[in-house]
Structure 1
Amino acid sequence: MSRELDTAVKAAMAAGEITLGKFGELSSPEIMAKEFKDFVTEVDKACEAAISSLITASFPNDSLLCEEGTIANGSSGRTWIVDPLDGTLNFIHSFPVFSISIALCNPEGDILCGVVYQPLLRELFTAEKGCGAFLNGKAITVSSRTEREEFLVATGIPFKEYHYLESYMCMLKDVIRDSAGIRRAGSAAIDLAYTACGRFDGFWEYRLFPWDFAAGVLLVREAGGAVTDFGGNHNVFLRQSIIAGNATTHPMLLEKALDHFSEERSS
């Protein structure tokens, strides 16, 4: 394990302990609205402070991009991308699906290492570029399923932007016809981690933020899967719409995305 990944693991686990200390015990004053249907809690902020502190102490020349606003502009060209609590609404409602996501990117936009930690289950997903993906230290791979009637596919449903709702619903209907079931857990980082270890056969979501997907994208790729945007582009940071899956599910989902989100086609 590199020093970078070791730092990310320690930071994720420190944040995880903060979430465990407050899960199911949030009070109304600890919950704030950031914008329409988007919330932040004191736990998000405490987790972000713990993570950024540990990273900055170990790599003071690196930059930080965190969901709740912590930003540092370092000189190294590398950037840590952090979601201190992915699944905040779940956390607020004591729905036990949330995670901490931490990734490191180089100046060229390559994701060097990533961690997704699910504290309640003590599941730690880790990956380093070129070194494989792991769950609690054991190597993982994407699923090998090829029959559409067996696929379990994850997605994220639009909850505050409705201009693409019709396109999304049309794609959802198509995926329902070509799968055994759909799941919407409420944490894109978990969806991608579960795709990496074969629990989900694929995942798609339109318009995420880098902190939602950076670590999970590396997990899927290092687990032998494919990840692109809705236009088939490998650089998912450009459009920030994600399709992930194995050798069968990724092209299936990509075909449907191209049908229903034609504006996302590669130029």
Structure 2
Amino acid sequence: MPAAPIAFDELPAAVRTAIEVETGPIRRIENINTGLNSSLSARAHTTGGTVFLKGLRTDHRWVWTQQREADINPYVTPLAPRLLFHVIAHGWNILGFETIEGHHADYAPGSPDLPKVTDALRELASLPCPDIELRHAEQRLADYVPHPADADAFQGDALLHTDWNNHNVLITDDRAHLVDWGWATRGAAWLDPAHWIIWLIAAGHTPVDAEKSVALLPAWTLAPPRALDAFAHASANLWEEIAGSAPDDWTMNLLDAARLWQQHRNDRS
């Protein structure tokens, strides 16, 4: 379930004070309601500029993602916005990032954003995977494949983002930036293009065209067809679990996309 949203002014006064120790005096707050993985999501306009804030209570089951983002940030900038500070105080865990002025990526067919996203995928694939604590793709997906051994195909030493929600991709004049690294993972290099395919299909691409969109990425060319089949199967099962018994329209769209890609892979086989 998404983290319950909270406005900046609803934070305990002591937490707001701890944030202002890092930011300087805050003149204005823009609360943002598009995030799924954070309770607090806001832009703080300060005397020195704008800072993006994201936070969770320290007792939230996903609070570990805050530390994951802090740990990984030095290794993924400038692809990601730079982390300015990390505050843990009075029951809250808060990250402060430099603000990227851009728009959320448009994944629709023909979008001018698509080449920039492809370049970001290529850049990410060139980064070494840091020696920090990361989840492993084969572990994350083991429960969603028909046989546990099928998940062995997802093993690898590449750094993966894995959450290609278009709200996690900010487009500026010259490039795409990736935000929300809490679910960063170690695994096979072709997995990030494969994750993106489902979002492309959800945005209106056919499975064939979605695969063409990643076909020239070096990481994608390394993907064994049977491993792709296993991932498509796992993704459909994962989105079924996320959807549950009463999915909203957004989740149902992703589930339909995952099922459509799975069927396409089955038909190819």
TM over 0.5: no
If the length of structure 2 is used for normalisation, what is the TM-score? 0.31
Larger helix percent = 2
In terms of fraction of residues, the more strand-rich structure is: 1
Larger radius of gyration: 2
